[in-house]
A and B are shown apart, each in its own frame.
Chain A
């Protein structure tokens, strides 16, 4: 076989191994904690983004169509991050960590869904009230993130 064929086979094998590595679930406690930390980071990011948009709307700085797009994206991203993490089998002694992350994650997705629905229904005056839980949620997520990274 010509060397170019061997090279092509090697490249395909390399790409396959890389895709497997990128998609592989965490198998050790350490890697599970890393995924928990990155999930809480992602959730906090969505919460803070939604808070900024609510503030911008209140101050008249952002347009309503753009804000409704942003709430839709924040909810979808939080849902995706949470369901990805919830799909991992917790190794060893990480059941409690899984429970903590998924509980706060569900609260985040519910809060973001409420904002998205209010925006979709045109209930713009309700947004500041619906955004009230976001600040304490951001604080809880940050605390959880720090505890997970320790």
Chain B
């Protein structure tokens, strides 16, 4: 494999591991598996298809125009709508930066036994050092490859020796288990959609493609990233659900902590597996911290027309660099207030789900502009899948807030 191809692949892997599997997924998948078995696995399949469609569209726009999809889309939909989108996306993504940073600290807590609040400043300092010293490509490679340790969840399922017919019956029953309400079931549909179809995945993928100077000739590589990366993330998400189902469901365990997410791997594979799971959780949350941080910086810089980018020296993108560092400091300070990172994550992913249609529609419109996109304009398949995804996301957005309140965040 050529080095350039390897890099292209790791960009996709990082997007998948860090974007698809982040703190939101680690928590939501284990919660869902413990409470509903695999009865919500279909949501992950829908999420993977939806995010693949819009990541591919965003990547294609970036390849053709050398501009990130959202920057372009916003310039076409007017400043007021764009500002509303920016504020919404900024608030949700900023909350996620705090949650991801706490996730890194929680992984370090599991490894060391020291309280996670002690690790928050260390994690923030480590992020600064990595962002400042490591080149964009190397950063992706290291955390993309380390994130593959999450595959230990797939191995753990075999070692837990499941009854495959029970697993299949659970997967093929898209309804709540006895004792659970439809309200709670639908609330977790929203949570999974919000955790898995995160807008920052597209911001990052699209802006990363511009930073990596992809051109139309790189279309095949971009598509390989999408086709391999996101389904890999989806596979890991379903593996976490299945592991939690096998270990926790019959015992009535509710998952509220990252330690519980890692426990099924320990029971299946012993200490080596457990340590690999911690490495995977660390890499996934660290990668997601970088992605959310950059995605927020990109959003702000692209809206105000600042020079931006990780590949440039910090002094040449001073306002972008300052904005990302300020966000990191604010997130670390928020994390140190002892706000429960898991609760913050659940609230953030619900609001993220509510924002999806506002972010998808401009991308679909831009990708259909024949004058702009030329031969890379959307085909029938992209339009059909994109439109269905938008319809689904509108339903999710309308239901998100009422379900959050009426079910008391899935409790009843």
- B169: CB under 8 A from chain A? no
Residue of A52, A68, A142 ringed by the most chain B CB atoms within 10 A:
A52
Q: When the two chains form their complex, are residues A45 and B271 in contact, meaning their CB atoms are under 8 A apart?
A: no
List, in ascending order, chain A residues with CB within 8 A of B262's CB.
66
Q: When the two chains form their complex, are residues B266 and A64 in contact, meaning their CB atoms are under 8 A apart?
A: no
Pick out which of these stretches binds chain B: A69-77, A86-94, A106-114, A125-133: A69-77
**Which of A52, A65, A77 sits near B247, CB closer than 8 Å?**
A52
**Which of B267, B274, B401, B409 sits near A63, CB closer than 8 Å?**
B274
**B-contact bits for A17-61, CB 8 A (1 contact / 0 none):** 010011000000000001000100110110011001101100111
Interface residues of B (CB under 8 A from A): 109-113, 247-248, 251-254, 256-257, 259-260, 262-263, 266-267, 269-271, 274-275, 278, 401, 404-405, 408-409, 411-412
- A147: CB under 8 A from chain B? no
A59-B269 Cα distance, complex, nearest whole Å: 11
Which A residues from 71 to 105 make CB contacts under 8 A with B? Answer: 73, 77
Q: When the two chains form their complex, are residues A22 and B253 in contact, meaning their CB atoms are under 8 A apart?
A: no
Query: Which partner residue on chain B sits nearest A71 by CB separation?
Result: B259
Assign chain A's interface to a size class.
Answer: 20 to 34
Q: When the two chains form their complex, are residues A68 and B405 in contact, meaning their CB atoms are under 8 A apart?
A: no
A63-B269 Cα distance, complex, nearest whole Å: 12
List, in ascending order, chain B residues with CB within 8 A of A10's CB.
none
Q: When the two chains form their complex, are residues B254 and A52 in contact, meaning their CB atoms are under 8 A apart?
A: no
A77-B255 Cα distance, complex, nearest whole Å: 11
Q: When the two chains form their complex, are residues B411 and A52 in contact, meaning their CB atoms are under 8 A apart?
A: no
Beyond A61-B271, A69-B109, A73-B257, whether A48 also contacts B251 by CB under 8 A is yes
**Which of A18, A49, A60 sits near B253, CB closer than 8 Å?**
A49
- A12: CB under 8 A from chain B? no
Residue of A63, A69, A73, A138 ringed by the most chain B CB atoms within 10 A:
A69
Query: Which partner residue on chain B sits nearest A14 by CB separation?
Result: B401
Q: When the two chains form their complex, are residues A45 and B252 in contact, meaning their CB atoms are under 8 A apart?
A: yes
Q: When the two chains form their complex, are residues B110 and A142 in contact, meaning their CB atoms are under 8 A apart?
A: no
